[in-house]
Structure 1
Amino acid sequence: MASFDALRLLFPQDGHIPAEHRPPAAIHQRTYLVDGELKAWDGAVDTVRSPVCLRAADGRLQQIELGSVPSGAEKEAEEALKAAVDAYDGGRGRWPTMTVAERIACLQDFTRRMIDCRQEVVNLIMWEIGKPKADSEKEFERTVDYIRATLTALKELDNSNSRFMIVEGTIGQIRRTPLGVVLCMGPYNYPLNETFATLIPALVMGNTVVFKPPRFGALLFYPLLEAFLNSFPRGVINMVYGRGSVVVPRLLDTGQLNVLALIGSSKVADHLKKLHPKTNRLRAILGLDAKNAAIILPDADLELAVRECLIGSLTFNGQRCTALKMLIVHQSIVEPFLRRFSEEVAKLKVGMPWEAGVNITPLPEAGKTDHMTALVEDAKAKGARVVNQDGGSVAGTLFYPAVVYPVEDGMRLYREEQFGPVVPVMPFEDLEMALEYVTTSEHGQQVSIFGSSPDQIGQLVDPLVNQVCRVNINCQCQRGPDVFPFTGRKDSAEGTLSVTDALRSFSIRSMVATKETEANKSLLEAIVTQQTSNFINTRFIF
């Protein structure tokens, strides 16, 4: 049962949280990193509250206060931007002119320091966004693995360019070089991993960075400030806090940003790109909205489809861009599918993020439960019903998953990305209906197909790969492994984020060329031998 009273009782009373899982002592951050200094902050602050609530004796729920972070404004944004621009120095700065090996060494040093902060960062992920403890640990480990894989990929990329080419009497050497100053903004659902998926490749390719932490998950970067400070030259990475609607437009309208790296909404991205006075000079690397669908064919393995769709739609409360956000089930099996799916939803453990095996946890975003309720009520008013018992029940920041059927055009859930624990299900009779849904969608990230017929799956794959960037067969949509390309069509992405592709996204090919004469060959040989250039070299990075 997941009634209001049952959900409310899942929240702990003061003093009843196990000692080993208690929230950290309140962190009131009063420093920020800009221009190689941890500067004192004495201005306004934003309070950081956990989605976890304490239950008072009278039953009232109150979110736990974790601390506060600086609430910067335009002045602080300009300060951070100036530091990054000065550090890049038109490409003449220490960081962009370093050897690749030297930049890799800096990232390796940062990784060692980051690992020393593991426990504190993991604990803050869990408490700030309500992510289950096991998943918070997994996010940290995956981020470390991502950094290491990125550095390995860069070594391979640079080593493959450590030679000269001679073509039609011209000698050339081609390497990848930085783009300039990058603004990095990550999402709250994977505040460490998704943020570093842009931050790390941007840094290691020689760009300087202005980094704005996500609104939910800002405090977890506080333990890493010293690591950033000690691992990178002055001004290479600079932090900016405050409301995005205040500080980000100022950063863009200066025209001094070269790259916008954002994982967020397409509406925000469209708005921000237009603020740059030279849009042709702004490279955008964007991970945006998605409304990934699962198409369950009549010959699908029902148990497999239920299992994968359950994980795909409700892992971390459905707060993933790769989550399955529409289940399109063939009419002939929709009733048994709904029955089995609802039975499995009922088995999910609802509770606090530190509890072993927990699946559904409190939602961090203010007003999120109201938003989920509004989506469900809209569908119900237009003919749908909540299939699973107690689906859509709410207490404080907890929302019990709602399986909604039948969802059809005209309901908000049909097109709107819910980004939460609501699972829309729509029936279909012929493949064209399922294809039409994906084809007419504003989003184009991924799709899943469940079935066993080679003919039917083959017929679906061919048109779907021209609508989305990854087709998953008999498995949920997902990002990994990180060496695979992660991108999207339409409003879902711009640029590609994977280990190797991200290195290319945050750089550009540059070359040095000369005529093939004896004098020029001698000149190049002297430059290489005497190591007078970090670009013109044949060194191999081990």
Structure 2
Amino acid sequence: MTAHDIPGQSALAELARTTARRCGVDLDAHAGDRGVSSPVNGEQLTSLSWTSADGVDAAVARAQEAFRVWRTVPAPARGALVKRLGELLAVHKDDVATLISLEVGKITSEARGEVQEMIDICDFAVGLSRQLYGRTMPSERPGHRLMETWHPLGVVGVVSAFNFPAAVWSWNTAVALVCGDPVVWKPSELAPLTALACQAILARAIAECDAPGDLSQVVVGGADVGQALVDHSGVALLSATGSTRMGRAVGPRVADRFGRSLLELGGNNAAVVGPSADLDLATRGIVFSAAGTAGQRCTTMRRLIVHSSVVEELADRLVSAYGRLPVGDPMAEGTLVGPLIHGGAYEAMQDALSRAAAEGGKLVAGGGRELADAAPNAYYARPALVRLPEQTAVVQRETFAPILYVLPYDDFDEAIALNNAVPQGLSSSVFTNDQAEAERFLSAEGSDCGIVNVNIGTSGAEIGGAFGGEKETGGGRESGSDAWRAYMRRATNTVNYSGELPLAQGVDFSV
């Protein structure tokens, strides 16, 4: 199935303008010479002015001034601002989702899901604002109290990627704000309209709550702007989402100035399908994880490790499902696979398929370009399924495109080893009705990823749990659980109410 009607340039440009206006963004006020294109048709939506690297200094200075005020505001009062942000996002849910679809090509349900994730993290952060817990520990000295307290950290810099142009910002911003930190955001240059809309919505919440106006700022620009944010000594925490290559550059630069970094980098995610698996359930989970967002999620399933007793049946089911996937205009009803972000992504996909073939792989579904006549400047591709006898070199690398490599296994130890035998460690899953297999996959000797699932796919994480991965994924954690601690500084406190001065460890220093 293929959706052939792709909107023209004028229709999408007008949609972008009117939608941005409803969010509070006047695109004329941001006009410049940098074009913003849509992957839906490959045509320009508008043009914007970019922030210079020098503008980062001014933004961080303003954020530092806001921090001096915001850190003294009680955390539950800070939560009131985030509550209002969530309310306004609910009002503008369809508007922000439309901009996401226009700029990065997400289908409507996934774009709306991204905004719902933003609303959910606001709800989480509001509750968190009353739960920034320290702890009290027993002191070895009589008449002393030993405890730890948590305090606002400082300016948080956020560098986000195109594939989640709003949600990742919200994960950082909602939590940072209740922790007492302002945010300076460098969005992907491929999705600036979404960023401006989110900033306008938060600016309205800030004004309504009488909070410091520079608590949130957006610096739209290229790599030089991102580098300026990375290197700025006034940025206490730098949260960066992107490729492992980007993380290798960012991490040492932030560490060199003794700043903190939170890195969410590459994923090369696998699912293991055991002989007892429910293949109906597995097929649905696999197709969404592998083909959703046109394979452009960090949690996209890229490897499928299937027991030899069921690999043929499951592969046949997937070939059938891939052939039925509706590819086309992401905003059209019924579309499940939208466009790749640009031509470079399509070329990377074709290069990976060629490498897989050279390494003994067989393309059994998809892989080709579609809608080239209807949208010659856009890049639509049917998700690809590749059978491989073993995990070859091409499988070791993450290709940010909808390619799923199918690999057989015979022994569960072998399956775990295949899952772990890549440099990345973000997400993983196992489909099985064997309790022992499930528990082994979740155990210390099982999957080495930061996200480990049973009987669901690799994508679709909830905000209540910490999100992130190990190895070349960077080790960072965002969103739920205790990820808030990255945005605060810890102090260990000793209170002496004894009237005496005993020293720890029995030290005698009498004078």
CA distance in 1, matches of 2:338, 2:30: 33
1:97 aligns to what SS in structure 2? coil
Alignment partner, residue 387 of structure 2? 405
Maintained 8 Å contact 1:407/1:424: no
Maintained 8 Å contact 1:379/1:407: no
CA distance in 1, matches of 2:16, 2:227: 34
Gaps of 5+ in 1: 54-62, 520-542
Aligned pairs for 1:20-419 within 5 A: 23-25=15-17, 45-53=33-41, 63-88=42-67, 93-157=68-132, 168-171=142-145, 174-230=148-204, 231=206, 232-243=211-222, 245-276=223-254, 278-279=256-257, 281-388=258-365, 390-394=366-370, 395=372, 396-406=378-388, 408-412=390-394, 414-419=395-400
Alignment partner, residue 485 of structure 2? 504
Flag the 1:433–1:151 CA change in 2: closer, same or farther, 3 A: same
Kindly state the Cα deviation for residue 407 of structure 1 after the two structures are TM-superposed: 5.8
Maintained 8 Å contact 1:182/1:259: yes
Flag the 1:438–1:259 CA change in 2: closer, same or farther, 3 A: same
Aligned pairs for 1:345-494 within 5 A: 345-388=322-365, 390-394=366-370, 395=372, 396-406=378-388, 408-412=390-394, 414-465=395-446, 467-494=448-475
CA distance in 2, matches of 1:168, 1:322: 52
TM-score normalised by L of structure 2 = 0.86
Q: Which amino acid is 2:299 matched to?
A: T
Kindly state the Cα deviation for residue 77 of structure 1 after the two structures are TM-superposed: 1.7
CA distance in 2, matches of 1:14, 1:241: 23
CA distance in 2, matches of 1:460, 1:191: 32
Flag the 1:39–1:403 CA change in 2: closer, same or farther, 3 A: closer
Q: Which amino acid is 1:491 matched to?
A: E
Flag the 1:408–1:71 CA change in 2: closer, same or farther, 3 A: farther
Maintained 8 Å contact 1:28/1:68: no
Percentage identity across paired residues of the two chains: 25
CA distance in 2, matches of 1:72, 1:193: 22
1:329 aligns to what SS in structure 2? strand
Kindly state the Cα deviation for residue 320 of structure 1 after the two structures are TM-superposed: 1.3
Kindly state the Cα deviation for residue 196 of structure 1 after the two structures are TM-superposed: 0.9
CA distance in 1, matches of 2:232, 2:195: 26
Q: When the two structures are aligned, how many residues end up with a matched partner?
A: 485
Maintained 8 Å contact 2:19/2:98: no
Maintained 8 Å contact 1:68/1:219: no
Gaps of 5+ in 2: 373-377, 501-511
1:386 aligns to what SS in structure 2? strand
Q: Over aligned residues, Cα RMSD in angstroms?
A: 3.1
Deviations 1:378-432 (A, max 9, x none): 11233212102x53334331011111111634442x1111222111111223333
TM-score normalised by L of structure 1 = 0.81
Maintained 8 Å contact 1:27/1:67: no
2:110 aligns to what SS in structure 1? helix
Q: Which moved more, 1:453-462 or 1:351-360?
A: 453-462
Maintained 8 Å contact 1:253/1:276: yes
1:493 aligns to what SS in structure 2? coil
Q: Which amino acid is 1:50 matched to?
A: S
Kindly state the Cα deviation for residue 27 of structure 1 after the two structures are TM-superposed: 8.7
1:351 aligns to what SS in structure 2? coil
1:424 aligns to what SS in structure 2? strand
Flag the 1:467–1:250 CA change in 2: closer, same or farther, 3 A: same
CA distance in 1, matches of 2:265, 2:349: 20
CA distance in 2, matches of 1:41, 1:324: 38
Flag the 1:308–1:120 CA change in 2: closer, same or farther, 3 A: closer
Alignment partner, residue 508 of structure 2? none
Kindly state the Cα deviation for residue 137 of structure 1 after the two structures are TM-superposed: 1.7
Flag the 1:275–1:459 CA change in 2: closer, same or farther, 3 A: closer
2:433 aligns to what SS in structure 1? coil
Kindly state the Cα deviation for residue 165 of structure 1 after the two structures are TM-superposed: 8.9
Maintained 8 Å contact 2:329/2:335: yes
Deviations 1:10-62 (A, max 9, x none): 43467899xxx973337999xx99xxxx99767x5421111111xxxxxxxxx
